């Protein structure tokens, strides 16, 4: 033994067992050492070869038996872990399904306590932040509370629960979000602790749980969006084994699912309240807008009509809800004041929705569902949300059908009166010209020649003004004939106009600058072009009362004809430039008194010329400085393919 102890100092058995001879054989499995077997004898004896062989054989058998036992234990442990994992998965699946059966946040917390018992605990309590002393409120509890409370406590119920929770004190967990596992003192002292050290010191032991018959507690926070929602208190009693790390993990998973279910229920509740609020606001809006005399309709961001007030229904003869704005324009054949479809000529609703452009006081002509026509002044604006996103568009319609009818009657009256005036005026002009002719033949009898010339001049002025008035009214009402399309050489039209005015205006020098014939050629009605040039040239002459140069410049680009008329007359004040093409508008300096009187005119020439240009997809622009003269530039598409179809000119 002394020799053995010296050689193997770590073998403590040598000091407690007396032996004279000892043999130790290693236990190996596939060259892997798993232990050793010792043979000790109180008398000295030699170990013969057969003894050694026997010991080696026995060691091999023992090693195999021990390895089989180890593998069996590993298999059993793996099977138990798999069964535990499968059981936990089933439990969590059932818990998730049950928690999702309610969209009431409080009911969801009740369901948490129900699913926890008895699978995870004997008693489950859910507490939430509350004024209830000592800082929590019980919203749900499950389990046989009577079995763990004394008869005196069961009568009151709540006081006993309050005392039990006061001992457990879930408030720190509620606020810190860190879970806690508690066992009674005797289990700690007996070495029963959680596998991962969740219970690490006697401080986790609460002797105060003994009166309630509780042997273990898990306190797990229920956290949603980083904020505490509730605390789940799970208690063991009776013969339930102590809580281990797997139980804590399962409790955490249950708390996570409870938080998700509670958050979903809370969001649903918020959505319901928001919808109710929106419905209330919509009802109030409908009540207010329903009382307005003007029609109002609004769309969503996809351009579908979502609101129509009663006035809009009456105006259209009924509007279908959820109709998109293109179908709306087609259904009611919505056109501009000139009769052009709005889908092809600046649709106010589309501009508001897609480009956030606000349109004010545009005139529309609609065809109601009964086939009658109505006229409306419309305004459209985008609806923009707080984050800058386009929510839709709103359209207001003011019915001006009655006013339009009055305007038409007025125009018809003026046209009728104008026609009636033209008949005697023609007679006056004719007889005056006859008298003038006779006076020319008999020079000795020309005492009244100047009077006759004045009559002829004034008659021509009146005739020209009446023609301008008729043209303007017809342009507005669309009574002019549709254009006769021809290939027209604009050089010829310009040359004819210059030749016409050169012969009657000695005080003005008219000059034409052109690339020549057959260069600026396009698809137009020649009468319409003559009317435009006549208005522009006569306007230049009229507003250059002191004479001067009138330059007509003609050129083209790839797709347009460009004609400019420049004078050195009185010019247009800067404040009047934006209104110079308005109907009946005359700049203040044109109406001002001067030595030979104000410049005569109705303010219709430029209006008529611009309206004709617009019908061809062109436009007239002006550049002017008061006192220095003006340049009016006409831009016209050359090809009919680049022009809208004029409704009627």
Strongest mean pLDDT among 105-109, 155-159, 178-182, 431-435: 105-109
Specify the pLDDT at position 593: 45
Instruction: Determine the Cα–Cα distance for residues 329 and 367; give it in Å rounded to an integer.
Output: 10
Mean pLDDT score across all residues of the chain: 78
Q: What percent of the chain has pLDDT over 90?
A: 16
Instruction: Determine the Cα–Cα distance for residues 214 and 206; give it in Å rounded to an integer.
Output: 10
Specify the pLDDT at position 632: 95
Instruction: Determine the Cα–Cα distance for residues 572 and 551; give it in Å rounded to an integer.
Output: 17
Q: Quick: pLDDT tens for 574-609.
A: 888 888 888 777 787 776 645 565 676 667 778 888
Q: Look at the pTM and tell me if it is higher than 0.85.
A: no
CATH fold of 2-73: Beta-Lactamase (3.30.450)
Averaged pLDDT for residues 227-248? 83
The larger pLDDT score, comparing residue 150 to residue 567, is at 567
Averaged pLDDT for residues 209-226? 80
623 strand-pairing partners: 631
pLDDT at residue 538 is higher than 70: yes
Specify the pLDDT at position 282: 66
Confidence band for 472, pLDDT divided at 50, 70 and 90: low
Specify the pLDDT at position 513: 93
Q: Quick: pLDDT tens for 36-54.
A: 888 888 888 888 888 889 9
Query: Which CATH number is associated with domain 100-269?
Result: 3.30.450.40
Q: By three-state DSSP, how is residue 552 classified? A: strand
Specify the pLDDT at position 170: 73
Q: Quick: pLDDT tens for 439-465.
A: 666 665 555 666 666 676 666 667 666
Query: Which CATH number is associated with domain 480-642?
Result: 3.30.565.10
Question: Looking at 148-157, 224-233, 375-384, which range is the least confident one?
Answer: 148-157
CATH class, domain 292-398, is: alpha beta
The arrangement of strands across the sheet holding 560-566 comes to 508-513, 548-556, 560-566, 629-637, 619-625
Instruction: Determine the Cα–Cα distance for residues 548 and 552; give it in Å rounded to an integer.
Output: 13
Contacts of 609 (CB under 8 A, 6+ apart): 531, 532, 535, 536, 620, 634
Q: Quick: pLDDT tens for 492-508.
A: 999 999 988 887 777 88
């Amino acid at each position: 033994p002394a020799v053995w102890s010296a050689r193997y100092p770590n073998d403590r058995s040598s000091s407690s067992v007396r032996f004279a001879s000892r043999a130790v054989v290693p236990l190996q499995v596939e060259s892997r050492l798993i232990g050793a077997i010792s043979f000790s004898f109180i008398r000295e004896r030699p170990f013969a070869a057969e003894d050694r062989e026997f010991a080696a054989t026995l060691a091999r058998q023992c090693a195999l038996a021990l390895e089989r036992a180890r593998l069996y234990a590993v298999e059993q442990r793996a099977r138990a872990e798999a069964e535990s994992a499968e059981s936990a998965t089933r439990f969590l699946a059932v818990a998730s399904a049950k928690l999702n059966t309610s969209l009431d946040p409080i009911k969801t917390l009740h369901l948490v306590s129900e699913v926890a018992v008895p699978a995870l605990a004997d008693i489950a309590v859910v507490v939430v932040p509350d004024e209830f002393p000592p800082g929590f409120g019980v919203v749900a509890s499950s389990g046989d509370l009577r079995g763990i409370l004394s008869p005196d406590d069961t009568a009151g119920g709540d006081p006993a629960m309050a005392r039990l929770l006061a001992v457990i004190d879930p408030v720190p967990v509620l606020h810190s979000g860190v879970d806690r596992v508690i066992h009674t003192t005797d289990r700690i002292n007996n070495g029963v602790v959680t596998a991962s050290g969740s219970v690490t010191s006697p401080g986790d032991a609460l002797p105060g749980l003994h009166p309630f018959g509780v042997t273990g507690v898990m306190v797990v926070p229920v956290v949603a969006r980083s904020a505490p929602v509730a605390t789940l208190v799970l208690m063991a009693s009776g013969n339930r084994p102590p809580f281990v790390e797997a139980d804590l993990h399962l409790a955490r998973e249950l708390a996570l699912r409870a938080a998700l279910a509670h958050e979903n229920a809370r969001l649903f509740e918020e959505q319901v309240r928001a919808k109710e609020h929106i419905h209330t606001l919509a009802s109030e809006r409908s009540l207010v807008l329903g009382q307005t005399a003007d029609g109002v309709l609004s769309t969503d961001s996809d351009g579908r009509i979502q609101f129509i007030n009663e006035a809009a229904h009456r105006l259209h003869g009924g509007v279908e809800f959820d109709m998109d704005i293109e179908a709306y324009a087609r259904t009611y054949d919505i056109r501009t004041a000139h009769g052009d479809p709005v889908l092809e000529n600046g649709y106010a609703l589309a501009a508001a929705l897609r480009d956030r452009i606000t349109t004010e006081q545009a005139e529309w002509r609609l065809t109601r569902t009964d086939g009658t026509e109505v006229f409306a002044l419309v305004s459209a604006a985008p609806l923009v949300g707080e984050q800058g996103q386009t929510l839709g568009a709103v359209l207001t319609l003011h019915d001006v059908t009655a006013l339009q009818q009055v305007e038409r009657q007025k125009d018809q009256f003026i046209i009728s009166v104008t026609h009636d005036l033209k008949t005697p005026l023609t007679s006056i002009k004719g007889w005056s010209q006859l008298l003038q002719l006779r006076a020319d033949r008999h020079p000795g009898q020309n005492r009244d020649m100047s009077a006759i010339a004045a009559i002829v001049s004034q008659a021509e002025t009146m005739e020209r003004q009446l023609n301008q008035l008729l043209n303007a009214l017809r342009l507005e009402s669309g009574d002019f004939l549709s254009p006769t399309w021809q290939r027209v050489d604009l050089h010829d039209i310009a040359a004819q106009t210059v030749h016409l005015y050169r012969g009657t205006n000695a005080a003005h020098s008219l000059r034409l600058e052109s690339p020549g014939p057959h260069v600026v050629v396009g698809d137009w009605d020649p009468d319409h072009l003559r009317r435009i040039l006549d208005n522009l040239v006569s306007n230049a002459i009229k507003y250059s009362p002191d004479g001067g140069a009138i330059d007509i410049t003609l050129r083209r680009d790839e797709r347009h004809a460009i004609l400019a008329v420049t004078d050195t007359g009185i010019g247009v004040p800067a404040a009047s430039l934006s209104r110079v093409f308005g109907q009946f508008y005359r700049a203040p300096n044109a109406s001002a008194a001067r030595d030979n009187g104000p410049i005569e005119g109705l303010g219709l020439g430029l209006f008529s010329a611009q309206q004709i240009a617009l019908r061809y997809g062109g436009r007239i622009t002006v550049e002017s400085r008061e006192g220095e003269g003006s340049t009016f530039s006409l831009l016209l598409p050359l090809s009919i393919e680049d022009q809208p179809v004029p409704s009627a000119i």
